[in-house]
Amino acid sequence: MVDVRRDVCSGFEVFSIKNSTGNLKFFYFYDFDLCWSCDDKEDSDTSSIEFGPEDSYMYTLIDEVYDSISTNQPFKHLKYDFEAKDLVFLEGNDYSKRLFKNGMVEWHSDDCIYRVGSIIYITKENNRYIVTLQKGKTHINRIYPFSDFTVSIANNSRYSPYNITFMNMFNKLREYDFLMNQAEINKYVSKDNVKVRKD
């Protein structure tokens, strides 16, 4: 089962996500860019975490991100009604084509040039999502005092308006009451595929 913790660092919310397969962090930085990150590793350039139906709400959030991008509908799962018929989507934009290919979301960090920054990969296999963060090719231009895996999703992103999909996910995570919704989590848990952690 996924473990979700909320902390406050320098006035900013940080959500730390962990399960038996890995860890992931979401937070806004001082420039108000949304960041995805994870614990640093010196022995690897990639870090992955897997989400299945037993991970309940986190699985749903990742599913919404993947679905919005793969179907070219960045406003599909917004938590409020949004009239998007007059917006021009990026179907013909080169970055848009790079964002989803071969069944995989590939988001290059907005704080670096395209071929240098860290990358988020999201793939779907057998009804499970695998989120992988890849370190950038250089550490010199990192603006975040966090893990080298940190990926920026900027307000003025090269992928706009698809950045809204990730920001919408963060807003839903902020409003989710994990304790009150424990029953919802439990309904996805079966003794056959989930090990109960005792600590």
Task: Tell me which residue of 189, 192, 191 sits closest to 2, measured CA to CA.
Answer: 189
Name the one residue in this structure whose structure tokens are 């090990």: 195
Predicted TM-score (pTM) above 0.95: no
Q: Where are the domains of the chain?
A: 3-133+144-186
Sign of the torsion angle spanned by Cα atoms 30, 45, 6, 78:
positive
- Rounded CA gap, 41 and 80, in Å? 38
126-179 pLDDT, tens digit each: 999 999 999 987 655 455 556 788 899 998 898 888 899 999 999 998 887 655
Give the residue among 78, 104, 95, 100 at the shortest CA–CA distance from 154.
95
Question: What's the confidence (pLDDT) of residue 181?
Answer: 56
Answer whether 129's CB lies under 8 Å from 192's CB: no
- Any idea which residue has 């806004």 for tokens? 28
The one-letter amino acid code at 53 reads P
- The per-residue pLDDT for range 80-117, each reduced to its tens digit, is 655 544 444 444 455 556 788 889 999 999 988 888 88
